[in-house]
Structure formats: C-alpha cells, structure tokens
Amino acid sequence: MTIRKFEDYTPEIADSAFIDESAVVTGNVVIGADSSVWPMCSVRGDIHSIRIGERTNIQDGCILHVTHGSEFAPGGNKLTVGNAITVGHNVVLHACTVEDGCLIGMGSVVLDGSIIKKGAMVGAGSLVPPGKVLEGGYLWLGSPVKKARALSEKEIAFLDYSADHYVELKNRYRK
C-alpha cells in the first residue's frame, strides 16, 4: 500500500482496516475500523480532509477527493463517508457527504456539496449533481439522479449485508 504524507498531514488508518497495496492514500485522511480500500483507489486528502467511517468499503478504481477553499467555494468542501457504506467499483466521490448505511453503485459520480442521506441507494452509473440532497430509504437513478422508488425490505437488509460481507472479505485478505 502507498500511504503518503502531504505537508503536515499523514493518513490515520485504523489497525483493523485493509488498504490494498495498489491503493494510494494521501494527506489529511482518516480511515475507521474494519474499513477497506481496494485495488487502484486514490484517496487524496491534500487540500481538505477526508473521513471514512467504520465498516465501509471503497471498491476497486474509486477516486475520492475534496475541494480547496476559494472565492468559488468559500472554506472548501471536505469529503465525509460514514459507517457501513458500500462504494462500488469506479465511483468518484468528490467533496460530498455520504451518511451511514448507503450504497453508491458502480460508476457513479457524486459531486461537491451533495449529501446522500442515511440508508439511500444510488444506482450504478448515476450522477449526483453539486449540492443535491438525496433522501434516505430510496433508490436514486440516472444522470442527473432522480428518486426512483422506495427501497424494499430486502434491499434495506442488503445494505448491512454488503458492509458485513466486505468486513469478512478484508479479514481474509489480511491473513
């Protein structure tokens, strides 16, 4: 794994987390217990902070970044990814907030200042525009995303299952 200091910041990674050797984690980044960052991911907290909670998986090829403070973004925008979240392959999370228990489908892009509320599911290939707030308990689809329907009980159960599965999988990799 490549863990890079940037200026005064060195990533803080929980002892029980798994970072694949081909992933790059840079700067002002905190990764919580039992979380995982898979092959070819870039988690770059150089111009603002990135916080990834516990039991969250960032799957292959994801890019996580932030926005610096300027006249166009006063104070900048950090990236916050909560607990028990599945971030599918090739997702871009840019300076947004993803609350606990969400799933962000493969190839989706979530942009600056947007908020994915607890228990939301973003379908594969979706675009969440800047500043958009997605209500929890629903499936969101499209480019730009639109509320498609309420999640079924089975889909809600899958959100926890997916987080648990990736904790088990990262444990197998750590052996």
Report how far residue 124's alpha carbon sits from residue 69's, in angstroms, rounded to the nearest whole number.
30
Is residue 102 helix, strand or coil? coil
pLDDT in tens, 24-41: 999 999 999 999 999 999
Nearest in space to 103 (alpha carbons), one of 51, 140, 129, 131: 140
Q: What does the pLDDT read at residue 169?
A: 98
Instruction: Report the pLDDT value the prediction gives residue 1, as an integer from 0 to 100.
Output: 59
The residue range of the domain holding 146 is 2-174
Question: What is the C-alpha to C-alpha distance for residues 110 and 93, in angstroms, rounded to an integer?
Answer: 5
Q: What is the pTM of this model?
A: 0.97
Whether 151 and 134 have beta carbons less than 8 Å apart is answered as no
| Joined tokens for residue 98 | 């993803």
CATH number at residue 115: 2.160.10.10
pLDDT tens digit sequence for 96-131? 999 999 999 999 999 999 999 999 999 999 999 999
How many structural domains are present in the chain?
A: 1
